[in-house]
């Protein structure tokens, strides 16, 4: 008896440790929702549990009880790793997790997936970065989610990982609609989006791509056309870098990020990129900078080039912006109406004058008065 009991205890301890070791070897799965975790009322959504190729079975759970009991309901158990919801309803809202079986043991649970229902009629919020989405290394930036004045709460997310193992990290949940980053680092680069609550949750905002600059040495920017050009002329800007970047952008202060038509020329001492702007107008005057980067990390760019000030003035090859075309059309219409009114007034005055002289009764009365005066 004294030998059997320690043996059983040792065997139980060994089995427990073996089981824990086997479970520890399993990486937790990734749970995702397609087309997204924010689903409009009555629209379909598919929840997918992504495990390794050797996974033998899957379980998808939905949390059905609040703390502290944390009850869960099995929704999928077997070979399939997807849960298809044909029409999103109130009872589908909530937290979902999943696990898979491999080598006879179940994996740890995935991170939770929050399934949210949105309603048609709520507009998506607008997401901005202040002072802008291109942030210099170690500089501060504030992410702003703009919803309606009566929004009850906000959620701001950062997208982490790459498809199909993409996950969202919740940064803000509650009344604040801003998220502040004190010092910009590489881990803060990437995509952000947000939603607001007004009874139900709104559709998500468009993605905000937060970019860090200052990762590499700056290129140089010059203008072949000169810094002062006439409206209607073509402008050619050239960005030169000694680093063989595979991607370049040209930006203008106060305008959204953009890149004009461009061409590449490889030189002995670096790379020359030419940007073309056709038939410029006064709206294209401003301060320009160029950046270089690599496609493998599209959210990290070089230091900006020194600013180039482009001025559009002087005699024009006739060029009218769409806004000015509208103004000129309205001015022309006003002048036309004014000419018609003046012509009508002149014509009416003329008729009155000649009508007075040709009336016989008025002529007799006038002669009589003249005779009495004599």
Residue recorded with tokens 């009874």: 199
Domains (range + CATH), the chain: 22-118 (2.60.40.10), 126-213 (2.60.40.10), 220-312 (2.60.40.10)
**Residue 32: is it exposed, middle or buried by C-beta count within 10 angstroms (0-12/13-18/19+)?**
buried
Nearest partner of 179 among 295, 314, 188, 45, judged by Cα:
188
Query: Which pLDDT score, from 0 to 100, does residue 319 have?
Result: 45
Residues 252-290 pLDDT 10s: 988 876 666 678 888 878 899 999 999 999 989 999 999
Query: Which pLDDT score, from 0 to 100, does residue 136 have?
Result: 95
Nearest partner of 209 among 125, 297, 133, 156, judged by Cα:
133
Question: What are 355's strand-pairing partners?
Answer: none
Which of residues 344 and 20 earns the better pLDDT score?
344
* Residue 206 CA neighbour count, 13 Å, CB half: 4
- d(Cα 241, Cα 227) in Å, to the nearest integer? 20
Residues 201-220 pLDDT 10s: 888 899 999 999 999 999 99
- Answer yes or no: are the C-beta atoms of 240 and 219 closer than 8 Å: yes
Helix (H, G, I), strand (E, B) or coil at 110: coil
Residues 43-84 pLDDT 10s: 999 999 999 999 999 999 998 755 444 556 778 888 889 999
Tokens representing 370? 């003249």
Query: Which pLDDT score, from 0 to 100, does residue 65 have?
Result: 55
Q: What is the mean pLDDT of the chain?
A: 81
What mean pLDDT do residues 286-307 have? 92
What mean pLDDT do residues 291-306 have? 91
Nearest partner of 60 among 106, 97, 107, judged by Cα:
97
Nearest partner of 241 among 157, 319, 306, 184, judged by Cα:
306
- d(Cα 197, Cα 179) in Å, to the nearest integer? 17
- DSSP letter for 188, please: G
Query: Which pLDDT score, from 0 to 100, does residue 323 have?
Result: 57
Cα angle 140-146-149, degrees, rounded to a multiple of 5? 130
Query: Which pLDDT score, from 0 to 100, does residue 145 have?
Result: 97
Which of residues 347 and 205 earns the better pLDDT score?
205
Which of residues 168 and 40 earns the better pLDDT score?
40
- d(Cα 111, Cα 294) in Å, to the nearest integer? 31
Reply yes or no on whether the pLDDT at 340 is more than 70. Answer: yes
């Amino acid at each position: 008896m004294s030998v059997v009991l320690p043996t059983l205890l040792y065997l139980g301890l060994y089995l427990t440790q073996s089981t824990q070791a086997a479970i520890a070897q399993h990486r937790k799965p990734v749970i995702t929702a397609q087309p997204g975790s924010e689903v409009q009322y009555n629209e379909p959504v598919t929840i997918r549990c992504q495990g390794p190729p050797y996974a033998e079975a899957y379980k998808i759970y939905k949390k059905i009880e609040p703390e502290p009991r944390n009850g869960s309901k099995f929704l999928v158990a077997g070979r399939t790793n997807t849960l298809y919801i044909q029409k999103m309803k109130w009872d589908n809202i909530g937290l979902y997790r999943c696990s898979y079986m491999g080598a006879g043991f179940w994996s740890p649970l995935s991170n939770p997936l929050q399934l949210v229902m949105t309603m048609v009629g709520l507009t998506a919020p607008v997401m901005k970065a202040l002072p802008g989405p291109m942030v210099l290394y170690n500089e501060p930036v504030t992410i702003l989610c703009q919803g309606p004045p009566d929004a009850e709460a906000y959620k701001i997310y950062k997208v982490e990982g790459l498809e199909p193992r993409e996950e969202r990290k919740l940064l803000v949940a509650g009344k604040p609609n801003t998220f502040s980053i004190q010092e910009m680092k590489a881990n803060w680069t990437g995509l952000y989006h947000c939603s607001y609550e007004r009874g139900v949750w709104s559709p998500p905002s468009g993605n905000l791509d937060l970019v860090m600059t200052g990762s590499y040495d700056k290129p140089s920017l010059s203008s072949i056309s000169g810094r002062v050009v006439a409206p209607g002329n073509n402008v050619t800007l050239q960005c030169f870098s000694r680093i063989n970047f595979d991607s370049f952008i040209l930006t203008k202060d106060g305008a959204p990020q953009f890149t004009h038509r461009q061409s590449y020329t490889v030189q002995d001492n670096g790379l020359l990129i030419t940007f073309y702007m056709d038939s410029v107008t006064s709206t294209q005057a401003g301060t320009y900078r160029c950046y270089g980067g690599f496609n493998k990390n599209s959210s990290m760019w070089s230091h900006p080039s020194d600013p180039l000030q482009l001025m559009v003035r002087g005699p024009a090859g006739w060029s009218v912006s769409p806004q000015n075309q509208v103004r000129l059309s309205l001015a022309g219409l006003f002048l036309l109406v004014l000419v018609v009114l003046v012509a009508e007034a002149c014509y009416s005055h003329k008729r009155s004058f000649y009508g007075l002289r040709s009336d016989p009764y008025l002529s007799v009365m006038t002669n009589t008065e003249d005779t009495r005066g004599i």
